[in-house]
Structure 1
Amino acid sequence: MHTEHDFSAAGDRLSTFPAFFRVEGRQVAVFGNGDEAFAKVRLLSNTNAHIIAYADEPDDNFARYLADNSVDHRALAYAENLLDGATLVFAATGDERLDRDIVVAARARKIPANAVDQPEFCDFFTPALVTRAPVAVAIGTEGAGPVLAQMIRARVDQMLSPSLGKLARLAVHYRDAAENNVPKGALRRNFWRRFFSGAVADAMANGDTLTAHQAVEQLLDAPEKAEGRVWLVGAGPGAEDLLTLRAQRVLMEADVIVYDALVPQAIVDMGRRDAERLSVGKRKGCHSKSQDDINRLLVRLGRQGMRVVRLKSGDPLVYGRAGEEMAALRDAGIAYEIVPGITSAFAAAADFELPLTLRGVASSLIFTTGHDLAGDVLPDWARLAVSGATIAVYMGRSVAASVAKRLMDAGLAVETTVAVIENASRADRRLLHGTLNDLPDLEHRDEMTGPVMVIIGDAVAGANFEKSESLALSGAPGDLKREYVNG
């Protein structure tokens, strides 16, 4: 049957008006014994309302909750006089006719009421709720479905810092001081913008209330002076959903995003819409800016009072040149913070379902670059590889032959299993497997232009090779022997 849909401008309008009821200290009545009544009481417990649960035979879990949380429980079946004095009413008895009767009686008393799962008998709808008291975000779908509302709720919950409520309460504490000390207009708006996204917010996020108060006092003394801050943020291996929640939050606060070539554009685009974006991409043989240039850029932006996200592939502290940038910021007196990211070795291992450590086989893990093994002197850790350590080699494709030769010369067996991953975690990732003897062939894989991770060691034999191809350029791959030593 064909059904007409409203795609007009009127169809874009809400049929309900979002509003917040003032319920502190006021009675909210919930009628019912089962899960629906239980759910409404739990939702109301986010408020300071005087909740009255009318439940003559509550389910066991509901009864336990009422007792444990000191809810005003009255073991009474519904009667009209119980509505007297209520500000809101929830009818959740499980009996549709009774719920309708409760709503009709509440309406006669001019009390807004809600009958569970009966929209036509609801004066208001209960939203999916994200709370950072006193901040609340309510999500309604006008009947599109609670599942959709909960999905949206989960996303909003991730976006909001756990410390947001404390920050909002601090703002209430300083509201009068701001009105008395900061001129009305653009300067006061800028004061509050910096309050909620500057040093005050950073201190509260770190649980440092004393520093937060000091930062507010500094803002009040000099509301026109902005203080810069730099975050060194790990963008992870490339997949957007592997970005940490903290990284997402600071991207939304940044005035400027300074990013490397290996950071996908989709992650750069997750930043605040009006933030300036500066590419300082450094790839082999194509350096758009030197490290000294980048250091000077970060210091200059910080001195201008900017909030800067320095976005790096993987983790900033693993081959990310973060040490030099931190030193430059320290010397210049610019505040900074590290936001860790998932390093490529972990993402590559996850793609291969590869245990980087394996009891009885490999108890240590080494991070290195291929160039560490290309010099004249064999690194001290190479002997650990012979004794079973797993080696994660970053940026190793162009020196694969040298890496293989040096490790074999150190005594590592030629049949040691090797896993190679290009574009770890991304949709276009490529997985190859072989042995240490096959590794030199990697240098001839000119089609591999993305970042490549090589993982070597006995534990690699425990990986899942069903989705990978042979590393050897000629000859059919033999079955890789998987050996587990179970303790």
Structure 2
Amino acid sequence: MKHLPLFFDLSGRTVVVVGQGAAAQRRAALARSAGAAVRRVESVGPGDLETAAAAFVATGDVERDTVAASAVRQGRVPVNVADRPALSDFIVPSIIDRNEVVIAVSTAGTSPTLATVLRARIEALLPERVGALANLAGSFRRQVNALITDPAPRRAFWRRLVEGPAGRLALAGDQAGARRAVLGDLDAARRGGRPAGIAHIVGAGPGDPDLLTLRAAQLLQEADAILHDHLVPQAVLDRARRDAELICVGKRKGHANRPQKDIEAEMIRRVRAGEIVVRLKAGDPFVFGRGGEEVEALRAAGLPVTVVPGVTAALGVAASIGIPLTHRRVASAVTFVSGHTAEGACQPAWPDLAGQGHTVAVYMGATEAASVRDRLLEAGASPATPVAIVENGTRPDERVSVGRLSDLARLAASHASRGGGGPSLIIVGEVAALADARQQHLAQVS
């Protein structure tokens, strides 16, 4: 390698910056971000380099840069000259800064653009809170090293802290939960027992696997077991680790369903056994997904859990067929409603939903289309209100039909007669008329 990568502690030390332009400003800001005291000068004079740990030269003029670099070297101070690697003792790499975690990318000055591109790709893969994870590990270092003296088990402990429940909780922003997880692992190490695993309640999005969040995709690769909804398509499950155990626990109308309490008990059993469990839910786990109940059950059992949001069906489907759920000219509000309301649950305020300028997205509503139509009409909605039914939204077999509210039941029946059985979403409101005509695979009902 042409340059030896080093990380230089500049905290409280002096860095000289020669020049006054934008390049000099950037280098001064960079030095300050590392805790240095910056001394700005136009040119290098007697005493300017006193106590200096490093110097940046960025005058923008080759002759002035050369003279300044020579003067700095004579003062035995390492120098970097902006955009002139031949005059520099060290170079400035592209930097990814996550507090305690710093990654530098260099092409030895040959292609700053390539270094910038590589930095962007690494940043896309690097969790935003990875610095918090480093801080967590640092806060337990003395305690772990004192308790686990054998190098091999100690390395295994640190690996689990980074990749296991504590690390995932830290990356999710739950610092208190992360510390509890580390303390639980330390207690297990004292007793010689097996530490608990972790559950992740993950949104799978509306169906297109490319709409998975980065964190969801990462967790699918880490999971020991994936308890998934029936509505999660195979294309999403194919993103899982090959040896992960896939367990369908989803509920289907007209089929024997696994009770919710049994699903929660299975998650608790597996997490207690040390497994990484992903509860994979179609759409977003907190939008008609019962994710809240599962979080409550896991917390009541004293087990670690995180929640990873997903693109909920209304957002994914609307984007797929070109319907803006709100539009400045026709809709200023949107409400998500379930077509199947649980017994004892609060009922939607249908008169409010029927008002003009309001978009209603009805989940699981295809089989209840007639009821939805009647309730909205009784609440005062116009029979001519545009509607759209989208089946298998965002997927290759997506089907769309559009029409009027008065025809909603007939639209739903048309889907059923064509073998429709996939997840469907109903959109009611003036915005439904804006559906992309190219996406309308079923005949419009006029």
TM-score calculated relative to the size of structure 2: 0.77
**Are 1:240 and 1:266, in contact at CA under 8 Å, matched by a contact in 2?**
yes
How far apart in 1 are the matches of 2:443 and 2:61? 70
1:147-296 to structure 2, matched below 5 A, reads 147-154=113-120, 156-157=122-123, 159-198=125-164, 200-201=166-167, 204=170, 215-223=181-189, 224=192, 225-238=194-207, 242-244=211-213, 247=216, 254-263=223-232, 276-280=244-248, 282=250, 284=252, 290-291=258-259, 294-296=263-265
C-alpha displacement of 1:228? 2.2
Alignment counterpart, residue 117 of structure 1, candidates 70, 83, 86: 83
CA contact (8 A) 2:399 2:442 kept: no
Shift of the 396–206 alpha-carbon distance from structure 1 to 2, 3 Å rule, reads closer
Deviation at 1:317, TM superposition (A): 2.3
Check 1:382–1:190 CA distance in 2 against 1; reply closer, same or farther (3 A cut). same
1:356 and 1:365 in contact (8 A); partners too = no
Q: Deviations over 1:117-155 (max 9, x none)?
A: 234444433222222332212223455754554454455
Query: Does 1:453 pair with 2:425?
Result: yes
Q: 2: distance between equivalents of 1:257 and 1:96?
A: 61
Counterpart amino acid of residue 80 in structure 2: N
Q: Given that residues 28 and 49 in structure 1 are in contact (C-alpha distance below 8 angstroms), is that contact kept between their aligned partners in structure 2?
A: yes
CA contact (8 A) 2:323 2:432 kept: no
Partner Cα distance (1:265, 1:428) in 2: 13
> Which residue, out of 384, 408, 413, partners 1:443?
413
Aligned to 2:324: 354
Please name the residue that 2:29 is paired with.
42
1:368 to 309, 313, 338: 338
Q: How does 1:412-451 map to 2 (within 5 A)?
A: 412-424=381-393, 431-439=400-408, 440-445=410-415, 446=418, 451=423
Unaligned runs of 5+ in 2: none
Q: Name the counterpart of 2:310.
A: 341
Q: 1:455 to 1:189 in 2, by over 3 A?
A: same
Amino acid at match of 1:367: V
- Give the TM-score normalised by structure 1: 0.72
Aligned equivalents of 1:250 and 1:416: distance in 2? Answer: 42
Match of 1:135 in 2: 101
What amino acid maps onto 1:187 in structure 2?
A: P
Q: Does the Cα contact within 8 Å between 1:31 and 1:78 map onto a contact in 2?
A: yes
> Partner of 1:73 in structure 2?
none
Match of 1:62 in 2: none
- C-alpha contact (below 8 Å) 1:357/1:365 kept by paired residues: no
Q: Is the 8 A contact 1:114 1:121 kept in 2?
A: yes
Cα distance in structure 1, aligned partners of 2:206 and 2:47: 63
- Alignment partners' CA distance in 1, 2:263 and 2:205: 20
CA distance in structure 2 between the aligned counterparts of 1:97 and 1:427, rounded to whole angstroms: 62
Q: Distance in 1 between matches of 2:112 and 2:392?
A: 37
Distance 1:421 1:164 in 2: 39
Q: Which residue of 1 aligns with 2:291?
A: 322
1:20 matches 2:14: no
- 2:403/2:411 contact within 8 Å kept: no
RMSD: 4.2
Gaps of 5+ in 1: 1-13, 57-76, 478-487
What are the superposed Cα offsets for residues 346-382 of structure 1, whole Å, 9 maximum, x if unpaired? 233344342348799675624122x569x9xxx6644
**How far, CA to CA, are the matches of 1:398 and 1:259 in structure 2?**
23
Return the offset for 1:282: 4.0
> Cα–Cα, structure 1 residues 213 and 447, in superposed 2: closer, same or farther, change >3 Å?
closer
Which has the larger displacement, 114-123 or 89-98?
114-123
- Describe the shift of the 1:35–1:447 C-alpha distance in structure 2 as closer, same or farther (beyond 3 A): farther
Label 1:108 to 1:193 Cα distance change in 2 as closer, same or farther (>3 A).
same
How many Å separate the matches in 2 of 1:339 and 1:210?
A: 18
Asked if the contact 2:325–2:431 (Cα under 8 Å) also holds between the matched residues in 1, the reply is yes
Using the alignment, how far apart are the partners of 1:448 and 1:282 within structure 2?
A: 19
- Separation in 1, partners of 2:302, 2:293: 14
Deviation at 1:336, TM superposition (A): 2.4
Greater mean alpha carbon deviation, residues 306-315 or residues 83-92 = 83-92
Deviation at 1:99, TM superposition (A): 2.3
Distance 2:17 2:222 in 1: 41
Partner SS state of residue 222, structure 1: helix
Counterpart AA for 1:290: R
Which region of structure 1 is more displaced relative to structure 2, 244-253 or 339-348?
Answer: 244-253
Q: Aligned pair in 2 of structure 1 residues 418, 310: CA closer, same or farther (>3 Å)?
A: same
In 2, Cα distance between the equivalents of 1:229 and 1:324?
16
Output the CA distance in 2 between the equivalents of 1:380 and 1:85.
71
In the alignment, is the contact (CA less than 8 A) between 2:161 and 2:182 conserved in 1? Answer: yes
Equivalent residue number for residue 4 of structure 1: none
Whether 1:126 aligns to 2:97 is no
1:99 aligned to 56, 65, 74, which one?
65
Residues 1:53 and 2:24 aligned together: no
Q: CA deviation at 1:35?
A: 0.7
Q: Distance in 2 between matches of 1:329 and 1:152?
A: 40
